[in-house]
Amino acid sequence: MSASAGAQSDTGPVLERRKRDDPRLISFTQRRLWYLEQLTPGTGVYNVPYLVGIKGNLNVAAFHQALNALVNRHEVLRTVFLAPGGNPVPVLLGKWNVEFRQYDLEQLKGAEQQAEADRLVRQESVRPFNLARDLMLRAALIRMAKDEYLLVHVTHHIATEFGSTQLIYQELSPLYQGFAGGQPATLPEPRLQYADFALWQQRYLEGERLQELTSYWKQQLTGAAQLNLPTDRPRPAVSTLRGTRYPMPLSRGQLKRIAELSVSSGTTPFRGTCAAFNVFLQCWSNQDDISIGSPVSPKSNRRVEGAIGFFVNTLVLRSDLSGDPTFRELMKRVDRVVQGAIEHADLTFDKLVEALRPPREASRMPLFQVNFRILKAPVPALEIPGFAITPPKFVDTGTAKFDLALELEATTGREGFFEYSTELFDQVTIAEMARDFEAVLMAVMEEPDRPLSQLEALRRISQRVRARKVNR
Compute the chain's Rg from CA coordinates: 23
150 exposed, middle or buried (CB, 10 Å; 0-12, 13-18, 19+)? buried
Q: Tell me whether residue 287 is in a domain.
A: yes
Assess if residue 66 is contained within a domain.
yes
If one counts every other C-beta atom within 10 angstroms of the C-beta of residue 211, the result is 10
Same domain, 451 and 404: yes
Residue 83 confidence (pLDDT): 94
Q: What is the pLDDT of residue 298?
A: 60
pLDDT of 302 reads 57
Look at strands 137-145 and 393-394 and give their pairing: unpaired
Residues 148 and 257 in one domain: no
How many angstroms separate the CA atoms of 51 and 453, rounded? 45
The parent domain of residue 148 ranges over: 28-196
257 and 365 inside one domain: yes
122: amino acid identity, one letter:
R
Instruction: Enter the pTM of the model.
Output: 0.92
Q: Is 414 a member of any domain?
A: yes
Ranges under pLDDT 50 in the chain: 1-9, 299, 301
User: Mapping DSSP to helix (H, G, I), strand (E, B) and coil, where does residue 34 land?
Assistant: helix
What CATH code is carried by the domain that includes residue 35?
3.30.559.10
Count the residues in the chain.
472
Query: Which residues lie closer than 8 Å to 223 by C-beta, 6 or more apart?
Result: none
CA distance 28 to 38: 16
Contact 279, 444 (CB under 8 A): yes
- Is the domain of 240 the same as that of 187? no
Rounded to 10 deg, the angle between the 427-446 and 269-285 helix axes is 120
Pairing of strands 148-156, 47-55: antiparallel
Query: Rounded to an integer, what distance in angstroms lies between the CA atom of residue 301 and that of residue 427?
Result: 37
Cα(76)–Cα(135) distance, rounded to whole angstroms? Answer: 9
CATH of the domain at 268: 3.30.559.30
Q: Are 13 and 207 in contact (CB under 8 A)?
A: no
Domain match, 338 and 286 both: yes
Which amino acid makes up residue 71?
Answer: V
Give residues with Cβ within 8 angstroms of 86, minimum separation 6.
none
| Residue 232 sits in the same domain as residue 188 | no
304: Cα separation from own chain's centroid: 18
**Whether residues 76 and 182 fall in one domain:** yes
Contact 148, 54 (CB under 8 A): yes
Question: 263 with 338, same domain?
Answer: yes
Determine the Cα angle at 245 with ends 240 and 248, to 5°.
Answer: 145
Backbone conformation region of residue 241, classed left if phi is above 0, alpha if psi is from -120 to 50, else beta: left
Strand, coil or helix: what is 273? helix
pLDDT for 4 = 40
Of 157, 178, 196, which marks where a domain is finished?
A: 196
Closest CA to 131 of 47, 223, 231: 47
Sign of CA pseudo-dihedral 241, 246, 247, 248: negative
- Shared domain for 231 and 156, answered yes or no, is no
Q: Could you tell me if residue 363 is inside a domain?
A: yes
Same domain, yes or no: 239 and 137:
no
Looking at the structure, do residues 422 and 462 belong to the same domain, yes or no?
A: yes
* Short-list 78, 83, 82, 81, CA closest to 93: 78
* Backbone φ and ψ of 276, nearest 5°: -65, -40
SS3 357: coil
Report the SS3 class of residue 293. strand
pLDDT (0 to 100) of residue 41: 80
pLDDT at 20: 84
Indicate whether 314 and 414 sit together in one domain: yes
Q: How many separate domains does the chain show?
A: 2
Burial 406-436 (b: 16+ CB within 10 A, else e): bbbbbeebebbbbbbbbbbbeeebbebbbeb
